[in-house]
């Protein structure tokens, strides 16, 4: 069994941002030389999500609007803010969209359907954040 | 390390449908000959979810009602529909219920508790859709 | 390839409870002797979630309040209760927070960012429940 690990670093301009990281994950997969196995992609932070969906800008705005409606940014609203933070909404958005994605590797490629793309969803950005890519297989 | 890959194809009669695919995943696991490892089960589409819960029809209706309330089908509502699509709700439902499940394989079997069953949740059906089953282990 | 399996058993005092199980998962990882690979952590029950977030009590209360608002405990509300159960809300809460986490193992440790902690979220407790930890790698 082989394993390979690399981080992607992202610094968003906005507090919330959705970034297609598929080609970066593909590059890491190529570097690994692994042909059959599994890739795990997860933020190393707890106010962000990795998820797989369609790269269509209207849809991404729908996602953002949905998350902001269901778990709004609100300095007054969350008990978490007693610690001095203002990102309770970001922790909740992450819970709704989940943490990680696990993707099959087949013939050295991400084993994806036509429209599957990996996104990093940042909910409390403007700082350097790391995404972990771990590949196991052979 | 061994790996095995097979797709399950499903064509739902209704737009939204929840199908227990546990026995199909078990059949693929048997075929693989893998005794210890992990199984990844994911739709190759972005308007569907694989998830694990109880096979009880009232509960499945509760799930459907919840998703339809929180992310309703609505031709006018979503920016994604500027592309000509009408399935913005289905992309959102998929985000809430997640994409994939990862299941342990122990002694050649899905390592499940009593009530765990694998479902394919389709939110924009009536077409052929593929579910990827990837198994790694030995 | 090596694999290792162990269960954690938890009996909560309250119906809903959020328990940090990181050190228990770390102990199992050490016992396994696996240095590079993946760990899967999932409840063997369908009214609970394993998830990764910050161990901050205000935040945990925010999570609980959010889940109770979006999928409230209500004996009258769910079709699932025709079976005699009263835990329809717990199945829904589990769907929102997800089932499992998959964590990278690097140099014999959980490959975590600074604030990542593994939680077991119980939504229908006061009974013995099992959490499966399955590790593969070498």
ipTM: 0.97
Q: Which residues of chain A make contact with B128, given a CB cutoff of 8 A? A: none
* CB-CB under 8 Å, C36 with A94: no
Chain C touched by A101 (CB under 8 Å): no
Q: Which of A48, A13, A46 is nearest to A118 (CA)?
A: A48
The whole-number pLDDT of residue B41 equals 99
What SS3 state is found at A109? strand
* Contact indicator for B110, B41 with CB cutoff of 8 Å: no
What's the pLDDT tens digit per position in A45-68? 999 999 999 999 999 999 999 999
End-to-end CA distance of chain C: 5
Residue A78 structural domain: 14-137
Summarize pLDDT for A94-111 with one digit per residue, the tens: 999 999 999 999 999 999
Q: How many CB atoms lie within 10 A of CB A9?
A: 9
For residue B1, is it within any domain?
Answer: no
A92 touches chain C (CB under 8 A): yes
Surface of A (47-76) touching C: CB under 8 A? 70-71
Residue C97 lies in a domain: yes
CA A52, A53, A55, A59: dihedral to nearest 10 degrees?
Answer: -140
Give residues with Cβ within 8 angstroms of A17, minimum separation 6: A121, A122, A125
* Chain B residue nearest residue C83, CA to CA: B58
CB pair distance less than 8 Å for A54 and B91: yes
- The per-residue pLDDT for range B70-102, each reduced to its tens digit, is 999 999 999 999 999 999 999 999 999 999 999
SS3 for B10?
strand
The DSSP line for C22-44 is HHHHHHHHHHHT--SEEEEEEES
pLDDT band at B57; cut points 50, 70, 90: very high
Rg (CA), chain A: 16
pLDDT of residue A65: 98
In a domain, B2, yes or no: no
Q: pLDDT band at A30, cuts 50/70/90?
A: very high
C4 near A CB under 8 A: no
- What percent of chain A is predicted at pLDDT more than 70? 100
Any domain includes A3: no
C26 in the Ramachandran plot: left (φ > 0), alpha (ψ -120 to 50) or beta? alpha
The C-alpha of A9 sits at a distance from chain C's nearest C-alpha, in angstroms, of 13
Mean pLDDT, range B43-67, rounded to an integer: 98
* C29-54 pLDDT per residue, tens: 999 999 999 999 999 999 999 999 99
Question: Rounded CA gap, C100 and A42, in Å?
Answer: 13
A6 CB-side CA count, 13 A = 11
- Tell me whether residues C63 and A3 touch, CB distance under 8 A: no
- Evaluated on CA atoms C80, C86, C89, C92, the torsion sign reads negative
Q: How confident is the model at residue A72 (pLDDT cuts 50, 70, 90)?
A: very high
Q: What is the CATH number of the domain that holds A51?
A: 2.60.120.460
Q: Which residues of B touch A51 (CB under 8 A)?
A: 95, 99
Of A66, A101, A138, the CB nearest to B99: A101
- Å from B26 to nearest chain C CA? 17
What is the average pLDDT across B94-123? 98
**Residue A5 placed within a domain:** no
- Chain C residues with CB inside 8 Å of A136's CB? 36-38, 136-137
Query: Residue range B47-52: average pLDDT?
Result: 98
Q: What is the pLDDT of residue A113?
A: 98
In a domain, C131, yes or no: yes
Q: Give the chain A residue nearest C97 (alpha carbons).
A: A95
User: In 3-state terms, what secondary structure has residue A64?
Assistant: helix
Would residue B115 count as lying in a domain? yes
- How many domains are there within chain B? 1
Q: Across the interface, do B44 and A137 touch by the CB < 8 Å criterion?
A: no
What's the rounded mean pLDDT across residues B30-48? 98
All partners of chain B with 3 or more CB pairs under 8 angstroms: A, C
Q: Which whole number is the average pLDDT over C121-129?
A: 97
Look at residues C77, C69, C61, C56 and name the one whose alpha carbon lies nearest to residue C96.
C69
């Amino acid at each position: 069994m082989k394993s390979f690990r690399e981080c992607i670093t992202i610094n968003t301009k906005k507090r919330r941002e959705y970034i297609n990281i598929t080609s970066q994950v593909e590059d890491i997969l190529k570097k690994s030389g692994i042909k059959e196995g599994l890739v795990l992609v997860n933020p190393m932070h707890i106010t962000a999500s990795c998820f797989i969906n369609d790269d269509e800008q209207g849809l991404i705005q729908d996602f953002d609007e949905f998350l902001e409606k269901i778990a709004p940014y609100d300095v007054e609203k969350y008990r978490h803010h007693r610690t001095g933070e203002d990102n309770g909404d970001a922790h909740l958005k992450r819970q709704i969209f989940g943490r990680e994605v696990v993707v099959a590797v087949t013939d050295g490629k991400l084993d994806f359907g036509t429209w599957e793309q990996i996104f990093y969803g940042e909910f409390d950005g403007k700082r350097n954040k790391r995404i972990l890519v771990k590949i196991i297989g052979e």
